[in-house]
Amino acid sequence: MRRRPRKPGSDEAEINMTPMLDIVFILLIFFIVTATLTREQGIDMRPPPDSAEDPPQNPPPVILIQVDDTNTIFVNNLQTDIERVSARIERFLSDNPRSPVLIDTASEADHGVIVRIWDQAKVVGADAVSIQTPDS
């Protein structure tokens, strides 16, 4: 194959950058507009306001569920397996149907275990379920 000799002073092809800059600016405007329209949803972690009413004289006993760092579960100081938590809660609710459930968690407890306990408490009919962390 023969190569054509280069002529000194020949023009080299240039790339026109204007269309690429137009596309970049259009994408920039698109992302700015869509980013300002998105709203993140989350759980409201503010405590409820103080009540002016006096607390009841004989409040029902609390069902205390403790989860330690090794994910060992205790329901009212009795060690329990994760599959039996709902049965224990249901038994305590049969004696005191208005008893609140308090899940006391350790800092290294598995979040999946805590969510399963929460779900089981709601399934068996616990009205008030709350979580206590070491920071609270």
Amino acid (one-letter) located at 74:
F
Residue 81 falls within a domain, yes or no? yes
Residue 130 falls within a domain, yes or no? yes
State whether the Cα torsion 72-109-48-50 is positive or negative: positive
Q: What percent of the chain has pLDDT over 90?
A: 46
Per-residue pLDDT at 38: 63
Backbone dihedral region of 7: left (phi > 0), alpha (psi from -120 to 50 degrees) or beta?
A: beta
Pick the range with the lowest mean pLDDT from 5-19, 27-41, 93-107, 111-125. 5-19
Q: Which residue has the tokens 């980013």?
A: 35
Residue 92 falls within a domain, yes or no? yes
pTM: 0.59
Domain count, the chain: 1
Per-residue pLDDT at 59: 84
Residue 115 falls within a domain, yes or no? yes
- Looking at per-residue confidence, does 40 or 123 come out higher? 123
Residue 133 falls within a domain, yes or no? yes
Inform me whether the pLDDT recorded for 65 exceeds 90.
yes
Q: Which residue has the tokens 């054509």?
A: 4
Span 57-84, average pLDDT: 92
Residue 49 falls within a domain, yes or no? no
Amino acid (one-letter) located at 60:
P
Residue 114 falls within a domain, yes or no? yes
Per-residue pLDDT at 88: 93
Per-residue pLDDT at 49: 85
Inform me whether the pLDDT recorded for 16 exceeds 60.
yes
CA end-to-end distance (rounded Å), the chain: 81
Radius of gyration of the chain (CA): 32
Q: For residue range 32-56, what is the model confidence (pLDDT) as tens digits? A: 888 776 677 777 778 878 888 877 7
Q: What percent of the chain has pLDDT over 70?
A: 88
Residue 71 falls within a domain, yes or no? no
List the one residue out of 61, 73, 128 whose CA is nearest residue 106: 73
Range of the domain at 126: 76-97+109-136
Inform me whether the pLDDT recorded for 1 exceeds 60.
no
- Given a contact cutoff of 8 angstroms between Cβ atoms, the answer to whether 113 and 73 are in contact is yes
